Structure 1
């Protein structure tokens, strides 16, 4: 039995950000906005609205259960 029933995924992250969250939409988003310059933190990228940026920043700062999936998106956006 899994202890963590609230495992966040890229899909749930995109839902939180108010973006299309199916695999194809996520793939298209990453393709459209990658690669992020190495000196730009993911939450500071100009692609986000203020509220999206704030959500990402909080998720990372509080090392919340969102941090891991935000890091995953970050890694995808660097390639």
Structure 2
């Protein structure tokens, strides 16, 4: 079992995205979500990323907190 604390950087790495602070900031500036759209429904995710986000939130996995943080950042 993974007991490490997940950060925004580790989430981006898990999603296969560049995970340095400048890349994360650029991603957030480039991608905005309307309030009514679920994070997992965003058009910029590929199928694997979408599945990871949906499953992590559904199972209230260790990743849920940082995924929720990303969701808030994209609003």
Q: TM-score range by the shorter chain?
A: over 0.9
Greater gyration radius: 1
What TM-score do the two structures reach when normalised by structure 2? 0.95
Unaligned runs of 5+ residues in structure 2 are none
Aligned residues: 74
Corresponding residue to 1:41 among 35, 38, 41: 38
Listed one character per residue, the Cα deviations across residues 24-79 of structure 1 (whole Å, up to 9, x for unaligned) are 00000000002x0111100110010011000000111000000000000000000x
Aligned to 1:6: 4
Q: 3-state DSSP class of the match of 1:18?
A: coil
Q: Which runs of 4+ in 1 moved over 4 A?
A: none
